Each structure stands twice: as C-alpha cells, then as structure tokens.
Amino acid sequence: MKLIRHLKTSPERFERSVVTIGNFDGVHLGHQRIFHRLIERARALDATSVAYTFDPHPLKILNPEAAPKILTPLDKKAKLIAQLGVDVLVCERFTEEFAAQSPEDFVREVLVERLRARHVFVGYDYRFGKGRAGNIDLLRDLGERWGFAVDVTEAYSVDGEIVGSTLIRRLVSEGRVREAARFLGRTFFFRGRVVHGKERGKKMGIPTANLVTETEVLPSNGVYAVYVDLDGRRYHGAMNVGVNPTFGDAAGRQLEVFVLNYEGDLYGKSLRVHFVERIREERKFPNPEALVAQIRRDVDQIRDILQREDARSDTLSYGPGD
C-alpha cells in the first residue's frame, strides 16, 4: 500500500479511483466492512482503491477539549488498512485552512481533480466541508454533476450493538478488552519500547519489562493475559497496568510485562502487546513476598487462558505482524 501524506503536493496521479473518507480510528469491523466494499468496487472498475483520512483528528483542531483519545496512531492505522488490501492511504494534514474549505471546493479539488473518483463510499453520518455544512444529499448532487456514484454504508452491529470507535475506546479504558476485541475484529494492541525501570521484578525472580508507548488509549489498571510479539516470534505474557501500590513510589501509570519463556535482554527492544483478557484489578499487598506469590498465581492462570486461546478454532486475529 502506498501512503500519501499531502495530496496537493504529491506527484501521484490517478487515472480513476474508488474512495472512502473517514477517520477510521480503530479500523474496527464497521470500517473493515467499508474497506471490503471499496476494494470489490475498485476491482470491478479497474480503479485504484483509496482510503482518505486525516491527521490529526479534526476535533484536535476544531474543538480540542472534545477531541477523543486515539485508538490507532497513524503508523498502526496504516498497517491495519494495508493488511486489508487497500491500494493507497491518503493522510491529509488537517489544519484550520483545510477546515475552511467549502463542501463544493473539497469535492472538486480532492475527489474530482486529484483523485478522479468514480465511486465514493461514506458512513451513514458523514458530514464534510466548512462547518460540517456538506451532507450525503449534497455529496450525491455533486456526484451527479461531476460523474461519481455515492454509496452510504449503514451502521454495523454486533449482537445488537452498533460498532463504533467511541464504544471501543470506552471498553478498552474500562479494561473490557475481550469485549472490545469483538467489535475490533482482533485484539486491542499497542507497540511499546522497553526502558530501564527499578528492576524489582528481576530481584524477585520475575523479570518484567517496563514499556513506554505513544498510544493514547490504554486499558484500566489491572493484570492482563497478553500476547507479546518480539523478534518475529509470539510469546505468552503477563501485563500489569498501574501504579505499583505495594511500593507506592510510581511516577504515574506504569506498563510492565513479564514475557513467559523468554531469556535474554529486552532493554531497548520494541514489543507489540495484544490484550486478551483482564484477570484482576491491581491491588496493594502487605509485603513484596505476598505480591510475588500472587504474581505466580496470576502467571499460572494466564498460561491456562492463553493455552486455551491457542487451541480455539475461532480465535480472533491478533493484528498485523512486523
């Protein structure tokens, strides 16, 4: 998949394209449904399939206080969309100047002149242009004028609940990661880099890796069964998100993962952590020995969970590899 960061200055030229427009945060099942339809239509028209999105999220410019935390930073979003088979991802820099375009100017300059769109897919609540003045009826009118068709994708539901990024953010933030996976179509995951910590885990015989990440949405404090992608392999892991209340000296929330059956130095490495299930809340223990005993019980429980997960025939996808 080709990534275009600014369409206006890109040398890329399109003969014809099929386009979908949106934020696509999370690249969840609803988005995936649109992408599958996009690709199918592009093949039928012998056209390029294009996903058109924005960075940063428009609300970060238009109404920062209302802007959501992002599930999928651009690099993660691009990998997920590429995995689905889209030809081109256009990630337009969202600025106040861009937001000031009239709906007609946006369609003419972007969809018609630059992308040469023949078919456009949008969600059921799509709005565009200055002040969100453009709606689906206007888009269809402009399509008739400039020669492209418009398809509206209705809300997608799982077990009677509409799939949406807001719902998934809430589920992840509450630690309900297995529920979130049902709407994502895969586990929630993030990439983190291993940094030096206090090395308490190593001294207690449970060497944990401290992680830093740019991911904005993180699960609630607690202990999780996770998969860890490392050096081209996938490991079982025990993840703690929290403030280390037993010791009481954490500077903010900490991300610590114990990679099972791994021997070697993790410092400086980049890991991808896939959250499978929350097993308990974070607790304060009377002493380090009680904490270690609980961690060993956690690890036994996590091994059982992930071994069952490995054996499932309907196991969820765990996202793109490196």
Q: Is residue 154 located within the same domain as residue 192?
A: no
Does the pLDDT at position 14 exceed 90? yes
Q: Is residue 7 located within the same domain as residue 105?
A: yes
Q: Is residue 17 located within the same domain as residue 146?
A: yes
Q: Is residue 75 located within the same domain as residue 120?
A: yes
Which CATH number fits the domain that encloses residue 251?
A: 2.40.30.30
Domain membership of residue 73 (yes or no) is: yes
pLDDT for the residue 157: 95
Domain membership of residue 174 (yes or no) is: no
Write down the pTM of the prediction: 0.92
pLDDT for the residue 210: 94
pLDDT for the residue 243: 87
pLDDT for the residue 314: 56
Among 278, 171, 270, CA closest to 228: 270
Q: Is residue 243 located within the same domain as residue 285?
A: yes
Q: Is residue 143 located within the same domain as residue 198?
A: no
Which of 139, 158, 177 is the last residue in one of the domains? 158
Which amino acid makes up residue 18? V
Q: If DSSP codes are grouped into helix, strand and coil, which group holds residue 293?
A: helix
Does the pLDDT at position 316 exceed 90? no
Q: Is residue 6 located within the same domain as residue 137?
A: yes
Among 76, 67, 66, CA closest to 27: 76
Q: Which domain holds residue 117?
A: 2-158
Band the pLDDT of 313: cuts 50, 70, 90: low
Which CATH number fits the domain that encloses residue 11?
A: 3.40.50.620
Domain membership of residue 320 (yes or no) is: no
Q: If DSSP codes are grouped into helix, strand and coil, which group holds residue 42?
A: helix
- Range scoring the smallest mean pLDDT among 68-77, 119-128, 147-156, 242-251: 242-251
- Model confidence pLDDT, tens digit, residues 33-89: 999 999 999 999 999 999 999 999 999 999 999 999 999 999 999 999 999 999 999
The count of domains in the chain is 2
- CA dist 292 → 80, 174, 263 (Å): 37, 25, 19
